[in-house]
Amino acid sequence: MNIPGIAAFWHKPVIVAGAAMQHYGLRDAGDDVDLVVSHEDFESLRQRFPVERGDFGDERIRIAEFEIYDGFFGVPYDLLKHGAVEQDDCLIASLPVLLYLASFYSSDDSELIINALHAQNRL
């Protein structure tokens, strides 16, 4: 993952929302990549980049196409990484975690995730 101005994170960021949905083949991602980082990483970024409130009230930092959060819908990094799929330099949120998150913002995404979990006999 190549984010301008960031050499590395202390902990692998967790990809959530559209980019995670695309990873599982459920739908195409949007124009941005939503990442949740550890509180330690977020505080480090806060020293160098402006912080704003995201669409759902969480603090975020925008860098190029990346929206970097300290938590997503109030869910902290340590919970979002549970069961995540390991990649070289990031984690992809698990389908159950994505379902929980999608229940806050998209009935369409929730339905896609439920169908995928049914297909895997996980529901």
Provide the residue ranges of all domains of the chain, joining segments of one domain with +. Answer: 14-113
Region for residue 8 given its phi and psi (left: phi exceeds 0; alpha: psi -120 to 50; beta: otherwise): beta
Residue 62 neighbours by CB distance under 10 Å: 14
Choice between 22 and 105, residue whose per-residue pLDDT is larger: 22
pLDDT band at 56 (very low <50, low <70, confident <90, very high): confident
d(CA 62, CA 72): 14
How many beta carbons lie within 10 A of that of residue 29, not counting itself? 16
Burial zone of 64 (CB within 10 Å; 0-12 exposed, 13-18 middle, 19+ buried):
exposed
Report yes or no: 41 and 13 within 8 Å, Cβ to Cβ. yes
**Segment 66-118, tens digit of pLDDT:** 999 999 998 999 999 999 999 989 999 999 999 999 998 888 888 989 989 98
Model pTM? Answer: 0.90
pLDDT in tens, 28-37: 999 999 999 9
Coil, strand, or helix at residue 1?
coil
Q: Look up residue 23 and give its two tokens.
A: 């990873």
Residues 6+ apart with CB under 8 A from 118: none
